[in-house]
A and B are shown apart, each in its own frame.
Chain A
Amino acid sequence: MRRETSPVRPDWKQRIAEQGMCFDTPGRGPGGQTRPYWDESVHYVFEMDEVLALEADVELLHSMCLKAVDHVVTTERFRDFALPEWAWPAVAESWRRSDPHLYGRFDLRYDGSGPAKLLEYNADTPTTLLEASILQWHWLKDTHDGDDQWNSLHEKLVARWAEIAEALPGSELHFTWSGGDTSGEDHVTTAYLQETAAEAGLDTVGLAIEDLGWDVSLDRFVDLAEAPIAALMKLYPWEWVLTDEFGKHAVRSLPETLWIEPLWKSVLSNKALLAVLWEMYPGHPNLLPAFLDQPGILTEYVRKPRLGREGANISIVSPGSEVQTGGVYGEEGFVYQLFDPLPEFDGFRPALGAWIVGDESAGLGIRETTGLVTDDGAAFVPHRIPEG
């Protein structure tokens, strides 16, 4: 793994705009300078054997996560995840029914030597999908044609939808995003997912989640045409669904309405998972020690909110130093994870976002920061695998 610079495509701005990038709020570079969110002036180079090893790590982590859900459901440890008590039975049933899942993104610390370490798992509403699947692929074709990339996201999504189609009550699937996201990222990402589903033969309907209707008399969700919703893909986190006004309806609508990601993912998209994994697999090479609610034996640690996003409300405590990011999360409590700083390449710190689609590793996206926390000031940079 190494970091390289290369000339940008002269028309890169137009290219990525044509590919759907409209949410490129600038990132932050050294000294707080702005930096393009999509930054193709640099990229990372991986050797194939590194990618193969990472891929094995990812699929192993995925299977460990599934075992962790099973453990949580079997032992009813929902309280550790701050899930509302009324939703517990439904979470368990969602798992026992094997409600189908689509995808997730593992955030990994990796420096080219030694095993990748799991920093966190975005199992419910992972973003940066378009960048990883489309933008960097076109970059590769334009600038390093003949090289390879850890990226089969598009094909795997299409294939996975074809599998999920088997479990759908009908051929129609509704896609929803939050209209409250004015950047367009959620809508564009949802549209892209919709596109992959249509390619797999599904009939798709897109609408903002705010427009979902609950038919009181018929006891079911309806779309704007008041047609019933049999299956719903949401780019909207379960923890928000559960606390929204219709949250109880959403849970009650199971399993008649199929929700993707499924409700059992609320266990995985919660950082309490990190502590549970460490309990189940102490010393595992792909894990960092992590504990619930208190740092335990750790003297250098990162404190993360159970439910937090975009690197918000993170504290890093090490001897003589404490760094903290702001935010609105933390009400549900915190998880403490061993502080293992992101590696530094030319003054920048990459975090790897490794994708799983269905149960298979499917691709990689890299976000780079100058600071220790990969937050909303991170820039997305592409990668390649040299030929031969």
Chain B
Amino acid sequence: MSTDEEPRRPDSAGADPTAAAEPTAPESSRPPPVEPDGEPGPPVEPDGEPGLPVEPDGPTERADAADEGERPARKAGSIRYQDETTVPREPTLAERRARELATRRAEEEELAREEADARKSKTRKRVMIGGGVAVGVAALVAIGYAVSQPDDTAARCVDDSNVVVDDNNCVQPAASSAGYNNGGYYHGGGLYPIFIGGGGRQYHYSYGGSGNLGQVATGGTTVPPRTGTATTPSGRVVAGGSSGASSDGKAGSSSVKRGGFGVGGDSSSGGSSSGGRSSGG
């Protein structure tokens, strides 16, 4: 009822003194984008200088990104995936001991801890990365989801020149060695199992596509199909078809519980949800 309830239009400078005092926000409107003032909040950022929090050269440069002056020679990180084929690693001795200890006094132990190790984010200079828009892993992952996956995908054993070879060459997985685990082989942004044949030659599976023995395989991918099975010319099923192998199928530690997030307690093979763009906004 009271008239001060009616500032329907922002600019009507209402009668309420508190509201009218500063009709338009502290920093009246434009610039100061990030808080350089040492507020208690997270802005991890702001390179303290009051001067120019925003880059001077505008938002729009991209490939031709300018200030790559001090582009640090940064080593590329790695990309690994885990799925139903991942095997628990051997627990360390310390872990085994700790587990035993914990189980023994599990009941009485009260949840107590909390060392608020106030990890203050450091103010850092912005580093502009020039250049390339890479699309690697995301596109590889997408292939697995691409519509109308056949129930069964042809799997071909190929050598490192992608020539189709007898699938007996793809039987013995490479010993887990240097760098990448599980005999994985990092190539072009993806990780997939490789097999070592006679003379140390390397082989892997190519899923889908086409190609006969001795020909170069075309149109295939190193990513196993997400649904259905993959079968070699000799009839061996090399992917899929063994659902439920996840988490509980392997000799994992009994103290590890899974499925506490997500829908239906299902694991990587995917539960059923309404689908669609589920986490968008």
Chain A residues within 8 Å of B, Cβ to Cβ: 17-23, 25, 48, 51-52, 55-56, 58-60, 62-64, 66-67, 69-70, 93, 95-101, 105, 107, 115, 120, 122, 125-128, 130, 133-134, 137-138, 141, 148-152, 154-155, 158-159, 162-164, 166-167, 171, 178-189, 191-192, 194-195, 197-219, 222-227, 235-237, 240-241, 244-246, 249, 252, 255, 262, 264, 269, 280-286, 289, 296-298, 309-310, 358-363, 376, 385
A127 CA to B138 CA in the complex, in Å?
A: 14
Of the A-B pairs whose beta carbons lie under 8 Å apart in the complex, a sample of 10, sorted by A's number, is A22-B146, A52-B59, A59-B53, A70-B41, A99-B42, A122-B280, A122-B281, A198-B76, A225-B89, A283-B7
Q: Verify A211–B268 contact, CB threshold 8 A.
A: yes
With a cutoff of 8 Å between Cβ atoms, the chain B residues found around residue A130 in the complex are 138
Q: Verify B145–A155 contact, CB threshold 8 A.
A: no
Q: Verify B135–A134 contact, CB threshold 8 A.
A: yes
With a cutoff of 8 Å between Cβ atoms, the chain A residues found around residue B98 in the complex are 217-218
Q: Verify B44–A198 contact, CB threshold 8 A.
A: no
Identify which of residues 33-47 in chain B touch chain A, using a CB-to-CB cut-off of 8 Å: 33-35, 39-46
CB distance from A314 to the nearest CB of B (A): 12
Identify which of residues 48-95 in chain B touch chain A, using a CB-to-CB cut-off of 8 Å: 53-55, 58-63, 65, 74-83, 86-89, 91, 95
A360 CA to B217 CA in the complex, in Å?
A: 46
- Name the contact of B138 in the complex, choosing from A107, A191, A358 (C-beta under 8 A): A191
* A-contact bits for B234-254, CB 8 A (1 contact / 0 none): 000000000000110000110
A149 CA to B65 CA in the complex, in Å?
A: 12
A185 CA to B58 CA in the complex, in Å?
A: 30
- Name the contact of A20 in the complex, choosing from B39, B111, B142, B275 (C-beta under 8 A): B142
CB-nearest residue of chain A to B227: A182
Most central of A133, A218, A240, A264 by chain B CB within 10 Å: A218
A310 CA to B277 CA in the complex, in Å?
A: 8
Chain B residues within 8 Å of A, Cβ to Cβ: 5-8, 10-11, 19, 23-27, 29-35, 39-46, 53-55, 58-63, 65, 74-83, 86-89, 91, 95, 98-100, 102-103, 106, 111, 116-122, 124, 126-131, 133-147, 189, 246-247, 252-253, 255-273, 275-281
A96 CA to B39 CA in the complex, in Å?
A: 10
CB distance from B68 to the nearest CB of A (A): 9
CB-nearest residue of chain B to A37: B277
CB distance from A242 to the nearest CB of B (A): 11
- Name the contact of A179 in the complex, choosing from B5, B34, B270 (C-beta under 8 A): B270
CB distance from A295 to the nearest CB of B (A): 12
Q: Verify B279–A21 contact, CB threshold 8 A.
A: no
- Name the contact of B261 in the complex, choosing from A64, A107, A128, A210 (C-beta under 8 A): A210
CB distance from B207 to the nearest CB of A (A): 16
A369 CA to B129 CA in the complex, in Å?
A: 35
Q: Verify A20–B135 contact, CB threshold 8 A.
A: yes
CB-nearest residue of chain A to B255: A217
With a cutoff of 8 Å between Cβ atoms, the chain B residues found around residue A23 in the complex are 145, 277
With a cutoff of 8 Å between Cβ atoms, the chain B residues found around residue A194 in the complex are 79, 137
Q: Verify B122–A166 contact, CB threshold 8 A.
A: yes
With a cutoff of 8 Å between Cβ atoms, the chain A residues found around residue B86 in the complex are 207, 223-225
Assuming the contacts A20-B142, A188-B138, asked whether A105 and B281 have C-beta atoms less than 8 A apart, the reply is yes
Q: Verify A185–B277 contact, CB threshold 8 A.
A: yes
CB distance from A236 to the nearest CB of B (A): 6
A363 CA to B62 CA in the complex, in Å?
A: 10
Q: Verify A200–B74 contact, CB threshold 8 A.
A: yes
Having A93-B116, A249-B260, A360-B55, one finds 6 other A-B pairs with CB under 8 Å, namely A56-B54, A60-B31, A182-B272, A182-B275, A189-B138, A211-B246
Q: Verify B137–A192 contact, CB threshold 8 A.
A: yes
Q: Verify A236–B261 contact, CB threshold 8 A.
A: yes
Q: Verify A236–B89 contact, CB threshold 8 A.
A: no
Q: Verify A182–B33 contact, CB threshold 8 A.
A: no
